[in-house]
Amino acid sequence: MALDIFHERGVPLERQVFTWRDLVRTPISKLDDDAFTRVRIILMNGLETFALRLGHPLSWMNDDLRRPLAQMRRIEKHQQTLVNWLLPPDLSPLETTIAYEQVAIEVTASVAQHEPDPYLAQVYRFGLLEDFDHMHRFSALLDRLEGKDANNILQSYTDIRPGRPTAVEHRAPEDDLREHYDRTTAAPLTKLHAITLTGAEFQTEDYYMNIGPLFADPLARQLYAEISAIEEQHVTQYGSLMDPNESPLERWMLMQATEVYNYYSCAESESNPRVREIWTRFVDYELGQLHATMELFKALERRDPAEVLPESVPEPIAFESHREFVRQTLAGEVDLRARGTQFVDKSQEGADSPSVIYRDQMNSEGSPSELVAAGYRWRPGTELSDGRAKATQQEVGAP
């Protein structure tokens, strides 16, 4: 039965409490847990990070919101820790990167299929094919640098093959902005989708910026520099979908509703009982935060939250393999490029387009994503398992 967010009031803020032991639990198993358990953890860390990221500037610019947002951010912070600390220490930064890209692919694919607005659905498919290519490049790096198989992380749910080549994803800023939805007419789900993917991409960019310098290998450092730049473009792209005319409190209320929606989606599909208990608890916490925000909205804006929020939580995100959808999208849309807020075939991009000029400049001393995956085809057990190939260290460019 769908969750009625107006009648389900969740846990009141004062009862949303934690201890350090509660925050730091036994992590999931890298080897035995389902890949989608890890996908959900990464996604929800992204949403909690986004709530903090959004809550701060809203407080800086709104006197009335300073105290209530500080209270809610404290809870979000602890939720974020509890969720993110479920990742185990045997996942290397590069393996975690593979998991981040799996989130970007499978969650974006689900969102693209459920998005009611055709233009936004197109935007999501456009971004999807770029993250899909990142997976190919990072898998090549994982194989060729560390001698590891990306499919150990992906568990055969997600294809490893080129998408829209990362080298052509570099665009001028004006070609990353998209039309925003209209807050007065957009479906609530459209708003929740935009927040979800902006949060997911934002944390990915930050993650790559934090771990990029940990790599000794110069090509790995270059690849993280390159792909984190695309993630910044994606934050621009997805962030620009949100209507800038929404009031700060309206946006905060949508943020809370997005968290309810996502935790609910996680709880509905989780296979690990220990983790499901956390999702269920946080659905109730987020409902509590949402209702606190609704009260603020009514008191400060004198508006009815029902103008903005859906009556019940929409159909959950499908945490499953979207292989066929991704392949169809790849076949039909890999050659699309952006011109302003619209998408055109690559033949219409034009040599004088700001994006082409920018891209040529950035790639003029070589393209890390092209170099790292030159001739790369994923195969089970890494490309070294191909008995026919006589690879030497020199041939694969091992450091």
Partner 1 sequence: MKTGIEMGLNRTGIGTSPLAAKASIQGAEEGVPLAGIDGSGMARVRADYVRDAEPIGTVPPPTSVKGAVLSAGQLLSGKRPAVLLDKLSERLAFERTGTRLYEALIAKMEAMPATEKLPLEEVRRFHDEERAHMQLVAAAIERLGGDPTAETPSADVDGVASMGLLQVIADPRTSILHSLHAIHIAELADNDGWLLLIQLAGSMGQDEMVTAFSAALDEEEEHLESVRRWMTNGVLAEAQREAATFEPGEAHAT
Chain contacts with partner 1 (rule: CB under 8 A) = 26-27, 31-35, 88-90, 136, 144, 151-162, 217-219, 222, 320-321, 323, 327, 366, 368, 370-372, 374-380, 383, 389, 391, 394-399
- Residue 338: what are its φ and ψ, rounded to 5°? -100, 135
DSSP 238: H
Q: Shortest distance, CB of residue 295 to partner 1, whole angstroms?
A: 42
Pure H helices in 158-301 = 188-211, 218-239, 248-269, 273-296
Give whichever of 61 and 391 is closer to partner 1, judged by the CB atom: 391
**Closest CB to partner 1 among 116 and 366?**
366
Smallest distance, partner 1 to C-beta of residue 152, A: 4
Rounded to the nearest 10°, the torsion over CA 250, 255, 257, 259 is -170
Query: For residues 238 and 319, which CB has a smaller minimum distance to partner 1 in the complex?
Result: 319
* Pick 149 or 201: Cβ nearer partner 1: 149
Using the minimum distance from each CB to partner 1, give the nearer residue, 19 or 185. 19
Residue type, 141: L
CA separation for the pair 249, 256 (Å, rounded): 10
Report the nearest approach of partner 1 to the CB of residue 343 (Å). Answer: 22
In whole angstroms, what is the distance from residue 257 CA to residue 188 CA?
Answer: 9
Closer residue to partner 1, CB minimum distance, 158 or 355 = 158
CB of 398 to partner 1, least distance (A): 7
CB of 349 to partner 1, least distance (A): 23
CA–CA gap between residue 154 and residue 108 (Å, rounded): 16
Helix or strand holding residue 104 (H, E): helix 93-114
Give the start-end residues of each E strand in the chain: 336-339, 342-345
Q: How many CA atoms lie within 13 A of 161 on its CB side?
A: 10
Residue type, 241: L
